[in-house]
């Protein structure tokens, strides 16, 4: 880095750390206030609520980093403009594009930091937070249906294909399951069996050990001996058996079921990719998770857009507005970016837009805004 780039970087990073900690602390406080209503239920105590919101802090940090980058860069640029330091840099030969390249270079570590928090820290911390909360409250995970969680599982291909519709009544925080119903169909979608299991636990590599299983098997009834068919004769016969312990091969894993403990927007890229593959294999809709995948890929690069958007503020002299007013404008820009990002996410799902297009559109609009602003300040 050149001397002036190191000077810029030091100022921006110091302001970034201060602003990020301030915003994260504010959100943690609001989250803690929201959790106080559940304190006292079951074994859920204040220390559980505090640990829960602290484990959610990395996700809050991930969401805030682009906005904190924008505000800190605007503050530093406005301060340099107010002290005429940026004017000296320009007189010394610092062109607009060169200044932009310097800011993007400074933003690269923040992009890497955003990616690492979103991939390595936030998803695992959020899942652990949910487990701690559920264990303290004595609850289990539910998909929102009164009957529990419904998933589809397919094994084999063509004539040997087996299709299962699995209803998990209870998904415990330790990834064990209970009150399980399994409806199994053959390749022609004829119902072969219905299993009711009291509980189950996953065994590597791809088996579920079900205990206390009641299984009802269906098969075609033998043909009648007389030539004249009997309309009251059963076409299918059933047989019920009880099994204490059974190992069932399945493509479902605790990682796939744990998707219910973390919102798609907060999952890691690998987990999203794996779950999307599972949905495609079972011919299920993947729009929501494809959008979340593209947002996870593109969101860290919003830091570059925020850096470009902050640069025009360095060309506004102090008499054009106080530093506080410019910082307030940066806060409004950051909030509008988050709101627009959320708005386009819902619009994309409603209109079935491609995931990459929906995820990239807010950043693309603000990048165009930054380019227009840079051209204007460069000419004036």
Which range (9-13, 79-83, 115-119, 313-317) has the least confidence?
313-317
Tell me which H or E stretch contains 343: helix 323-350
Lowest-confidence region among 60-64, 179-183, 217-221, 357-361: 217-221
Q: Give me the residues paired with residue 246 across strands.
A: 210
Q: What is the pLDDT of residue 141?
A: 54
Cα–Cα dist 133/150, whole Å? 23
pTM (two decimals): 0.75
Beta strands in the chain (DSSP E): 149-155, 162-171, 177-185, 191-203, 207-220, 236-249
Q: To 10 degrees, what angle do helices 323-350 and 46-82 make? A: 120
Report angle CA 343, 344, 346 to the nearest 5 degrees.
70
Give residue 54's pLDDT: 94
pLDDT in tens, 274-298: 888 877 877 778 888 899 899 999 9
Location of structure tokens 């799902």: 349
Tell me how far apart the terminal alpha carbons of the chain are, to the nearest angstrom.
Answer: 29
The confidence score (pLDDT) of residue 320 equals: 47
- How far is Cα 295 from Cα 311, in angstroms, rounded to an integer? 25
Q: Nearest to residue 302, comparing CAs of 347, 340, 268, 248?
A: 340
Q: What is the mean pLDDT of residues 256-263?
A: 66
């Amino acid at each position: 880095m050149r001397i002036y780039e190191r000077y810029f970087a030091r100022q921006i990073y110091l302001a970034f750390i201060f602003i990020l900690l301030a915003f994260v602390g504010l959100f943690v406080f609001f989250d803690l206030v929201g959790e106080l209503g559940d304190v006292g239920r079951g074994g859920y105590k204040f220390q559980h609520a505090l640990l829960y919101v602290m484990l959610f802090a990395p996700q809050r940090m991930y969401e805030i980093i682009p906005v904190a980058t924008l505000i800190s860069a605007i503050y530093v640029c406005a301060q340099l403009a107010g002290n005429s330091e940026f004017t000296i840099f320009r007189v010394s030969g610092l062109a607009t594009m060169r200044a932009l390249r310097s800011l993007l270079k400074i933003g690269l570590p923040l992009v890497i930091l955003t990616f690492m928090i979103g991939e390595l820290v936030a998803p695992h911390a959020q899942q652990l937070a949910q487990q701690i909360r559920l264990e303290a409250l004595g609850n289990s995970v539910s998909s929102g249906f009164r009957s529990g969680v419904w998933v589809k599982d397919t094994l084999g291909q063509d004539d040997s294909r087996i299709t299962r519709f699995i209803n998990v009544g209870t998904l415990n925080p330790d990834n064990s399951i209970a009150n399980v119903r399994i409806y199994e169909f053959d390749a022609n979608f004829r119902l072969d069996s219905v299993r009711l299991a009291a509980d189950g636990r996953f065994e590597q590599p791809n088996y579920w050990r079900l205990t206390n299983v009641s299984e009802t098997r269906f098969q075609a009834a033998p043909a009648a001996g007389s030539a004249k068919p009997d309309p009251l004769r059963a076409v299918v016969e059933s047989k019920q058996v009880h099994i204490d312990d059974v190992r069932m091969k399945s493509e479902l894993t605790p990682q796939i079921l744990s998707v219910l403990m973390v919102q798609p927007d907060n999952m890691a890229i690998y987990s999203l990719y794996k779950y999307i593959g599972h949905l495609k294999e079972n011919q299920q809709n993947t729009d929501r998770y494809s959008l979340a995948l593209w947002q996870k890929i593109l969101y860290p690069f919003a830091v570059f857009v925020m850096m470009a958007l902050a640069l025009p503020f360095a060309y506004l002299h102090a008499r054009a507005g106080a530093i506080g007013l410019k910082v307030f404008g940066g806060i409004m820009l950051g909030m509008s970016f988050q709101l627009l990002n959320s708005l386009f996410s819902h619009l994309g799902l409603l209109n079935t837009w491609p995931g990459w297009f929906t995820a990239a559109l807010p950043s693309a609009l603000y990048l165009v805004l930054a380019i227009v602003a840079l051209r204007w300040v460069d000419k004036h």
